[in-house]
Structure 1
Amino acid sequence: MRVGLHALGIASGARPEIIRAVAQAAEAHGFSRLWAGEHVVLVDAPVSQYPYSDDGRIAVPADADWLDPLLALSFAAGVTDEIGLATGVLLLPEHNPVVTAKQVATLDVLSAGRLTLGVGIGWSADEFAALGVPFARRGRRTEEHLAVMRTLWREDVATFEGEFTRFRDVRVNPKPVRDRWIPVVMGGNSDRALRRAATVADGWYGFNLSTAKALECVSVLAGHCAEHNRPMEELTVAVALTDASPELLPELASAGVSELVVVDAPPETPNEAGNWVAALAGRWLASTGS
């Protein structure tokens, strides 16, 4: 069982000295990956309900600093050598897939192949409106964007004819480090998200779930894999839990979870941040044998 850390990019975790301290300490203490999420836009009075809390509200204040995850992880890549990097998640339908394919491959090259691309379809109608992207059919747009990006990563000269994106005989470089492939995990806790994880992704990232709900989702994911003749073992399964404790790790591992993601906000100074990571490692990694 791997343990990742979702702590970069927001509020105190948006400051370069804190990113450096957290990233270097997380690598030194054996965390598997550094995760960073995305919102381009937050609003004071949102139309849409946040789907990952009981009250429908996101915990991050609308006026908080929130870094672009690809840029934040690029900075983290530059101050580390081995720890994995993951977007958790990039809101893919809000982006141009051709530009994103290049940006993601660039980060993969700069990090020597350490990137996992976590993607989601998004939940905020306000955000889509501000970006001029239709909120409707964002799930289908996400699936097509993934196909576009994989085509550009794979082919030297690429052509694509889709509903949302069309191009012919284009070159997009660089290519990803690992045989022109970057692992993609699908975020979201709905049945549709789990089905996408089983059919078009390389894994699933469940966010802000109780342990019981996470185990239920893993079972549903396994069912979708069986329905589509895909071995569950092909997928990586990462979960961030609301009630996590080290004692639950064996149960999660036996159910098919490959990574527990600890979600927290770092303290305000680099020294405090380094000590904070060490304390988290003492709690979580001792029980994994890391």
Structure 2
Amino acid sequence: MTPQLSVPLPSFSADAPPSRRPLLETAAMLDRAGVDRLVVSDHVVFGEDLDAYGRPESGGTRGGVQPTGPDGHWLEPLTVLSAVAGATSRIRLATGVLLAALRRPVVLAKTAATLDVLSEGRLDLGVGVGWQRAEYEAAGLDFAERGRLLDHTLEVCRVLWSERRASYDSPGLRFEGVHMMPKPVRDGGVPVWVSGTVNPRVVRRVARFGAGWIPWGDAARDVVAGIAAMRAALEEAGHDPGGLQVTGAVPIAHGPDGAVDLARTMDAVPALAAAGVTDFRLRLPAAPDPAEAEARTRAAVAAFREATA
């Protein structure tokens, strides 16, 4: 698999920005500069127990800090990517991650298929269970059942994406002879990237649904060990991990002046690639001048291509 460079698109902020136009301008710049994939985040609502983000037992990441307060402005990711699709032509459009279980499965299947068709097959659906009880309660869902709800959502999406005359039967949902068109561009549907730690539930989810894996928690902090553990778990479950795509963050190295040292930053890439990272997530610091931001991004893309040649 050809290594790919992904860049987060900032679709949230602590306060309301004066304009949303820079969001689309940044997306267009990433497209022009040659970045392979842009990624947007998801929160539907916030409760007030934001410390849960730092607690692994509730789905958070050890020591993590939520980047905004409860009144942070988080744009809905599939809506954002729909607007971005019209402002770009080649870059892949990804959620990282979408709390898929908060959406009714049939509506999510339709929305994702529509976005995939309009973007000519550029959508990657990164999904996870999340860490926040308040979001599930606001949607009328049981937080304790979030893993089962995600699996159910992905099952329904897969059926509707792949079957012309779709039928489904579970304790909570039954339909027969349902037609949903258009289908996503790829046979089998929109590529799904499953986020999570290395645990039996996530391993089963990756094996069943995952074109890729987005490590979380300790597996993200030490992605080399995380990949080894996930591959071993998949093999033990009887699933070949050979074609699994994996996201890994590229650590930013700084020079003595505090500026990004691009050469040293890219020194980490070959070892990550050898360990199995295929999707390299790079978070460059913002540049106030658009021309400078594009020049920095183009330089990063060129350095990444050289490091992975």
TM-score, normalised relative to structure 1? 0.89
1:19 CA drift (Å): 2.0
Q: % of aligned pairs identical?
A: 33
Gaps of 5+ in 2: 254-264
Q: Residue 280 of structure 2 aligns with which residue?
A: 260
Could you say if the C-alpha distance between residues 163 and 123 of structure 1 is closer, same or farther in structure 2, counting changes exceeding 3 Å? farther
1:53 CA drift (Å): 4.5
Give the secondary structure class of the aligned counterpart of 1:168.
Answer: strand
Q: Residue 37 of structure 1 aligns with which residue?
A: 41
Q: Residue 225 of structure 2 aligns with which residue?
A: 216
- Among candidates 1, 4, 7, match of residue 2 of structure 1: 4
Give the secondary structure class of the aligned counterpart of 1:35.
Answer: strand
The answer to whether the aligner puts 1:68 opposite 2:70 as a matched pair is no
The answer to whether the aligner puts 1:111 opposite 2:129 as a matched pair is no
Give the secondary structure class of the aligned counterpart of 2:242.
Answer: helix
Output the CA distance in 1 between the equivalents of 2:192 and 2:38.
15
Give the residue type in structure 2 aligned to 1:223: A
Residues 11 and 40 in structure 2, CA contact (< 8 A), matched pair in contact too: yes
Residues 204 and 238 in structure 1, CA contact (< 8 A), matched pair in contact too: yes
Output the CA distance in 2 between the equivalents of 1:131 and 1:273.
39
Give the secondary structure class of the aligned counterpart of 2:144.
Answer: coil
Could you say if the C-alpha distance between residues 232 and 16 of structure 1 is closer, same or farther in structure 2, counting changes exceeding 3 Å? same
Q: Residue 202 of structure 1 aligns with which residue?
A: 211
Give the secondary structure class of the aligned counterpart of 1:142.
Answer: helix
TM-score, normalised relative to structure 2? 0.84
Q: Residue 169 of structure 2 aligns with which residue?
A: 161
Give the residue type in structure 1 aligned to 2:242: E
Q: Residue 84 of structure 1 aligns with which residue?
A: 92
- Among candidates 18, 24, 33, match of residue 20 of structure 1: 24
Output the CA distance in 1 between the equivalents of 2:227 and 2:132.
25
Could you say if the C-alpha distance between residues 197 and 211 of structure 1 is closer, same or farther in structure 2, counting changes exceeding 3 Å? closer
Output the CA distance in 1 between the equivalents of 2:135 and 2:295.
36
Could you say if the C-alpha distance between residues 164 and 265 of structure 1 is closer, same or farther in structure 2, counting changes exceeding 3 Å? farther
Give the residue type in structure 2 aligned to 1:4: S
After superposition, what is the alpha-carbon deviation per residue over 1:102-137, rounded to whole angstroms, capped at 9, x for unaligned? Answer: 000010011000011100012100111111111112
1:56 CA drift (Å): 4.4
After superposition, what is the alpha-carbon deviation per residue over 1:201-233, rounded to whole angstroms, capped at 9, x for unaligned? Answer: 111012576876111111111112212333323
Aligned ranges 1:208-287 → 2 under 5 Å: 213-240=222-249, 245-263=265-283, 266=286, 272-273=289-290, 275-283=292-300, 285-287=302-304
Output the CA distance in 1 between the equivalents of 2:231 and 2:47.
37
Give the residue type in structure 1 aligned to 2:280: L
Give the residue type in structure 2 aligned to 1:96: R
Could you say if the C-alpha distance between residues 145 and 220 of structure 1 is closer, same or farther in structure 2, counting changes exceeding 3 Å? same
- Among candidates 49, 52, 60, match of residue 48 of structure 1: 52
After superposition, what is the alpha-carbon deviation per residue over 1:79-122, rounded to whole angstroms, capped at 9, x for unaligned? Answer: 11111011111101111100000000010011000011100012
Output the CA distance in 2 between the equivalents of 1:79 and 1:148.
30
Give the residue type in structure 2 aligned to 1:288: R
Gaps of 5+ in 1: none
Q: Residue 262 of structure 2 aligns with which residue?
A: none
RMSD: 2.6
Q: Greater Rg, structure 1 or structure 2?
A: 2
Q: Residue 93 of structure 1 aligns with which residue?
A: 101
Output the CA distance in 2 between the equivalents of 1:101 and 1:210.
29
- Residue correspondences, number: 287
Residues 240 and 262 in structure 1, CA contact (< 8 A), matched pair in contact too: yes
Give the residue type in structure 1 aligned to 2:32: A
Give the residue type in structure 2 aligned to 1:220: A
1:275 CA drift (Å): 2.8
Q: Residue 288 of structure 1 aligns with which residue?
A: 305
Residues 196 and 216 in structure 2, CA contact (< 8 A), matched pair in contact too: yes
Moved more, 13-22 or 144-153: 13-22
Q: Residue 143 of structure 1 aligns with which residue?
A: 151
Give the residue type in structure 1 aligned to 2:37: R
Could you say if the C-alpha distance between residues 139 and 210 of structure 1 is closer, same or farther in structure 2, counting changes exceeding 3 Å? closer
Give the residue type in structure 2 aligned to 1:9: S
